[in-house]
C-alpha cells in the first residue's frame, strides 16, 4: 500500500509539471506554427493598417503555407495579424533582418528574414 501511494504522488507531480509546461510554454501559438522573436525599435506599420509600438514580439508563421496569416504576440497575447507571402531563400539567414520604408514617424515593414530560416516573410506587394 505504501508503494502505491508513493507512485500516485509521483504521477500527480508529473501531471502537474507537464500541464504547467504546456500552459506557460505555448504562449497561445499553435504547434504547427514557426515562431521567432522580432524587435521593432520604432513604431511599425503593415499594409493592412495594423500598427505596433516599438517593442519585442513573437512572430508566428503557419508552416507549409505560401500565403500565411502571420500573427505577432506580445506577453502571450495576439496583437496583430497580417497577410504575407513566404519566399524561399537560397540559404539560411545569418541574422534576423527587417526591411521597411519610412512612413511619417513609423516604419512600414515590407519583409522579415528570420535568423536560421530559409525563408523571407514578405509583407509588401506580394503579401497583399
59-105 pLDDT, tens per residue? 999 999 999 999 999 999 999 999 999 999 999 999 999 999 998 99
- Residue at 80 is within a domain: yes
Q: Structure pTM? A: 0.74
Question: Could you give the CA distance from residue 40 to residue 23 in angstroms, rounded to a whole number?
Answer: 27
C-alpha cell of residue 17: 509539471
pLDDT at 15 over 70: no
The whole domain housing 110 covers: 30-127
Band (50; pLDDT cuts 50, 70, 90):
very high
Q: Is residue 113 part of a domain?
A: yes
pLDDT of residue 97: 96
Q: Is residue 98 part of a domain?
A: yes
- Tell the residue number behind the cell numbers 503555407, with chain if given: 65
Confidence (pLDDT) at 59: 98
Q: Is residue 58 part of a domain?
A: yes
The residues, any chain, with a CB within 8 Å of residue 18's CB and separated by 6 or more, are none
In a domain, 112, yes or no: yes
123 part of a folded domain: yes
Report the distance separating Cα 86 and Cα 123, nearest Å.
Answer: 9
At residue 10, the pLDDT reads: 37
Domain count, the chain: 1
Q: Is 14 domain-assigned?
A: no
Amino acid at each position: 500500500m505504501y508503494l502505491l501511494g508513493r507512485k500516485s504522488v509521483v504521477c500527480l507531480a508529473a501531471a502537474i509539471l507537464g500541464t504547467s509546461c504546456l500552459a506557460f510554454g505555448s504562449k497561445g501559438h499553435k504547434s504547427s506554427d514557426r515562431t521567432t522573436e522580432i524587435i521593432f525599435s520604432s513604431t511599425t506599420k503593415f499594409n493592412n493598417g495594423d500598427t505596433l509600438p516599438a517593442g519585442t514580439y513573437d512572430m508566428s508563421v503557419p508552416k507549409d503555407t505560401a500565403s500565411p496569416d502571420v500573427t505577432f504576440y506580445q506577453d502571450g497575447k495576439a496583437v496583430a495579424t497580417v497577410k504575407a507571402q513566404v519566399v524561399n531563400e537560397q540559404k539560411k539567414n545569418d541574422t534576423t533582418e527587417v526591411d521597411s520604408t519610412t512612413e511619417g514617424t513609423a516604419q512600414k515593414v515590407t519583409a522579415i528574414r528570420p535568423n536560421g530560416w530559409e525563408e523571407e516573410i514578405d509583407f509588401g506587394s506580394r503579401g497583399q
